[in-house]
Structure 1
């Protein structure tokens, strides 16, 4: 099966039909829930209070629903209007914003206690338009994300790099923007379940 990011830009690939299929697929829902729960675990949030979190590439709000269930407040950003329309139909509790992660995170400084992104970051590694330069888009994304997080906050971005060069590109731009840490690989010996955060 071809990777969706090679078939079309996300705002075109996730049309109304694909958005509904994605949100109704029990396998995708289960995977999304598991990956979001793992991301929350890696955020190491305080247990005694709700946090204000950012969900990048929030799609139809599947991850946001997990954040809600754990008592957190969230804002979701996605480039695909059809996915956000499904999130509205699902009556998710988070605030939703139509936006391109490659243009940066349009939020005031230090307002989020953490950020998650499930299966969205790899889209920034592609040049879908002549004006798209992956290095610049990744740096804009990471530098604006860094700015809108509190100084003690973490960002956990689960993604599927195509190869080690893509992994290096993402890591370099994150560190250049001020992030430190590393890459967590869950299920490293599995071809299907292997996941990078």
Structure 2
């Protein structure tokens, strides 16, 4: 089966039917939980007992946000699919949800976020789903706005599945141009994490 990002834009692909199917798949729930736990581990948040305000980019139906909640953190979830966010609301996830296109920038005040995760979302920025979409400009807007909204010393852990080496290099290049450092962690074949803030 072809990857979802090659079938349709995310707001079209994740319609009501796909959003419900995604959220009820025990396999997907397990994978999301495992990857979210790993992302949280790589965030290396201080163990001071103070809840942090985290960003979940491409939060979908809130599966990864549940991990953040279980660890006592507050979170803001961004997603472009209204259907996915509707399922998150039905599931009564505890995050604040925003319907937004990360490729247009995040639109948050500078320095307000203590950390950010993204699970299987940023590779969607590498596709030109509309004639107005330029993957390079979308990656630039995304990484620039993400860097600005993070508090000093905060990290972002962005897990993605690159389609090819060129795509992963493009993602990493735009992250570095925005000021991110820390490199790429490869846990499984084709599962990459960009970590840290410069």
What TM-score results when the alignment is normalised by the length of structure 1?
0.96
Report the secondary structure of 2:115's partner residue.
strand
- Inter-partner Cα distance in structure 1 for 2:173 and 2:153: 21
Q: How many pairs are equivalent? A: 192
- Inter-partner Cα distance in structure 2 for 1:27 and 1:68: 21
1:29 aligns with 2:50: no
Structure 1, gaps ≥5 residues long: 189-193
Q: CA RMSD in A?
A: 0.7
Residues 60 and 81 in structure 2, CA contact (< 8 A), matched pair in contact too: yes
Question: Match for residue 146 of structure 2?
Answer: 145
Question: Match for residue 20 of structure 1?
Answer: 20
Structure 2, gaps ≥5 residues long: 194-198
- Inter-partner Cα distance in structure 2 for 1:94 and 1:28: 20
- Inter-partner Cα distance in structure 1 for 2:19 and 2:107: 24
- Runs ≥4 residues deviating over 4 A: none
Residues 105 and 141 in structure 2, CA contact (< 8 A), matched pair in contact too: yes
- Inter-partner Cα distance in structure 2 for 1:111 and 1:161: 29
Question: Match for residue 164 of structure 2?
Answer: 163
What TM-score results when the alignment is normalised by the length of structure 2?
0.96
Q: CA deviation at 1:47?
A: 1.1
Report the secondary structure of 2:156's partner residue.
strand
